Amino acid sequence: MFQRYAVYFTPDGELGAAGAAWLGRDIFKGEPVAQPDLDGLDLPRLTERPRRYGFHATIVPPFRLHPDTSEADLGRALDDLRGELSAMPLSGLQVTSLGRFLALTLPRDAATTPNALAARAVEAFHPLRTPLDQAEIDRRMRPHLTKRQAANLRHYGYPHVMEDFRFHMTLTDRLDEPRIATRAAESWFGGVLATPLQLSHLSLVGEDTEGLFRVLQQVPLRG
């Protein structure tokens, strides 16, 4: 049994390998990976928090399992989704500054986005999660959240879902000065981002007692 579960997109191939090396951890094996030595960049320090989560894009944010639900129920829910969700291209991934951290994101004007896919997955897993208690909601509530985001937090346990979802793959902790890290990330990922990528599968992941996430199950999407 794990502390929390989530549904991720976990790229494999060259992008997955580049992301694992950048963060210093393989989310599939649950093992450390040697990080590159990049001039002027303390990569181990800058990736300390995202390393726990592994290289991924969140589809269903982390949640605690409902007492009346088992891990097998989560696996069945994920398996059911693959029958109704289709693979889709992820075109134009780029290094972006989101607030004070770096991530790989899709262009704002991307022709296709996985927003509807993510919304369907959030709804499918919603009955299987333990709702946040009031103390948790109060702790996570932030003054800058919109009314809709605050409602998402209360209902789904996370503000940036449904209409407020934005596909991203976190690369760093918060940065005081992003320019050096941005240049390093653009150089490191530039070659693999030129290769066409598909959101071709979904992964059920679990958080162990040390706060580290790893892939438990992966299912392909249609197409």
- In terms of DSSP bridges, do strands 4-9 and 201-207 run parallel, antiparallel, or are they unpaired? antiparallel
Type of residue found at 125: F
Domain boundaries, the chain: 4-220
> Per residue in 199-214, pLDDT tens?
999 999 999 999 999 9
Q: What angle do CA 176, 144, 147 make, to 5 degrees?
A: 150
Q: How far apart are the C-alpha atoms of 92 and 115, rounded to whole Å?
A: 16
- Count helices and strands in the chain by DSSP H and E runs: 8, 11
SS3 159: coil
**Nearest residue to 97 (alpha-carbon basis) of 151, 174, 28:** 174
Question: pLDDT per residue over 70-99, tens digit each?
Answer: 999 999 999 999 989 999 999 999 999 998
The chain-wide mean pLDDT, for the chain, equals 96
The pLDDT assigned to 31 comes to 97
64: DSSP letter: P
Vertex 13, ends 28 and 87: CA angle to 5°?
A: 90
CATH entry 3.90.1140.10 includes domain 4-220: yes
Residues of the chain with pLDDT under 70: none
pTM: 0.96
